[in-house]
Structure 1
């Protein structure tokens, strides 16, 4: 095997002893492999094979996820750039990450609960999804740093002037009722946060990110292979461990990513009459494709939709909507 990448890492255990390991990527006859070697002595080590296969992109997803786990445990590389990507942000970007880190390490759950209750009430009153009011991360920042003025609110990432004009007084009504032990401005966070603690937190965030990317890659691969093999949505879902509704969502996401889903759509609609498909298409032309319920009511009506099965009806609507949006985009491009 030809080693194309090798790096040495080390960490100190609780007894202060320095532990060493190596991470590597190799290639032989078109087969890629990646792994980890924990060194016990100069001539003794334990090897862990992370990946062996033909796909470089798949190797990178597995490699990055496994390496982030090791670095979250405290291992640090001799040479930087181990993730084979543009390394993390500096300056303003790192300052923001440290604000997030501190808020995760020193939570104020009592205040956070007050803020999430306020968000639920506000979302219900305005008929919006809660994350449109404020994300969990933003509420966590507010609960920890407890701004007392609109100027202090503006120091938090995610708080702009528009959001402050909408919700600032209500947020401050909550935060000012709680005692705080840290001041504004927040430049003290960078000085206070231990660098090793921050790095371990950062690599845990990377581990979560890489895990999501690996799952997405694996699902994409399973769906593409299933379509190539002529499998139905049901069978692909069984291989991927997803329910039909989750599979439809995955198909929509992959279509937006530019992957051709027409073969699968054609197979899933084979038992849907041309007349029914044209009725759905016409409803989209008249009502638009943003909301499905008006289209469902126009084509089927509540009674027929219930008889057919709402899940099945909405599945057909979503599959035909993919085709419809492609046609609209094609017409717009041609025009």
Structure 2
């Protein structure tokens, strides 16, 4: 086997160093990738992470697996993996503040803020994250800002957020005792470098896990299209909502994949008259927004046997076809 990538790693544990290595090899068009770790007796234990013909799949698995090891405390002897030198030594103020807040949060205050956000979102008919993200609430609960100027020093809090909700947020922190003051420069001195790096790689692990799951779903959809699998079956296989699956179909279509077999199957019970009405609405109103098309075709008379989500699903699928035809016309022109 021809080794095309190798990096040595080590982890300090109980006053000893645990050596390891991550590697990628190729032989006759088959990629192999794995992790080798040495125990206290010096015995090597090898785990194969991937073996197959897909470089793209292997890369997704490599990123996720390596991020897991890095978040567990392993560090590369040769820097360059995930740009960890840059992440470790560059002054990244926002990331370090977020890290500190997640490691030293005030759960009681955080929960109070979360209750306020939920009520606010319900009253304004907004998604809760439009009011404030979980990270913003963590930052507030940890650093306890008591003035507008202090609130603005937190990552994710801008002028518009302060104008809308600043005074309400400060009502929770006004007069509270706190161990530290603003400005927050002390965080960069107090936060342990190793704790920050483990947290940093944990964020990458979570991201790469999402990327890997997304990749597997995309591949499954493409295989399912060839095999005649329905959206319902894909939904059961991956515990993914139909809306997310249809959005993935839109992405695959944009990337040049042919999704029409699955679309044809899902729209089989839709009348030709209804399809024509939706198509005409796209021609007249454009295909950017779905709500005007929905109202144009169905008005306020939503069919009794269908939900609003089902109607939007059909509109999305017909929009895939509409955009494909519009793109084909542009290519010809």
User: Which interval holds the TM-score relative to the shorter structure?
Assistant: 0.7 to 0.9
3-state SS of 1:183 partner: coil
1:136-285 to 2 correspondences below 5 Å: 136-242=134-240, 244-255=242-253, 259-284=257-282
Work out the CA distance in 1 between the residues paired with 2:155 and 2:330: 37
In structure 2, relative to structure 1, the CA distance for the partners of 1:151 and 1:332 (3 Å cut) is: farther
Q: 1:325 to 1:165 in 2, by over 3 A?
A: farther
SS in 2 for 1:305: coil
Report the equivalent of 1:29.
28
Q: Deviations over 1:248-304 (max 9, x none)?
A: 243245446665533432332234222110112334456666765665565456766
Partner of 1:8: 8
Unaligned runs of 5+ in 1: none
Measure the CA separation in 1 of the matches of 2:9 and 2:88: 22
DSSP-derived class of the 1:306 partner:
coil
In structure 1, what is the Cα distance between the partners aligned to 2:113 and 2:30? 52
- Residue 86 of structure 1 and its aligned partner are, at CA, apart by 9.8
Q: Conserved in 2, the CA contact under 8 Å of 1:305 and 1:313?
A: no
Q: Secondary structure at the match of 2:39?
A: strand
| Aligned counterparts of 1:226 and 1:328: Cα–Cα separation in 2 | 26
Distance in 1, Cα, partners of 2:272 & 2:155: 51
Q: From the superposition, tell whether residues 86 and 241 of structure 1 become closer, same or farther in structure 2 (CA, over 3 Å).
A: farther
> Structure 2: how far apart are the matches of 1:178 and 1:290?
48
Contact 2:302–2:308 (8 Å) recurs in 1: no
The Cα RMSD (Å) is 3.1
Distance 2:280 2:106 in 1: 53
Structure 2, unmatched stretches of 5+, are none
Q: Which residue of 2 aligns with 1:19?
A: 18
- Residue 156 of structure 1: how far off its partner (Å): 1.0
**Counterpart contact for 1:10–1:19, Cα < 8 Å:** yes
* Residue 38 (1) aligns with residue 40 (2): no
Superimposed CA distance per residue, residues 146-183 of structure 1 (whole angstroms, 9 cap, x where no aligned partner):
11111111211111112212222221122214221111
In the TM superposition, what is the alpha-carbon distance from 1:132 to its structure 2 partner?
1.2
CA distance in structure 1 between the partners assigned to 2:32 and 2:307 by the alignment: 47
**Counterparts in 2 of 1:132 and 1:328: CA distance versus 1, 3 Å:** farther
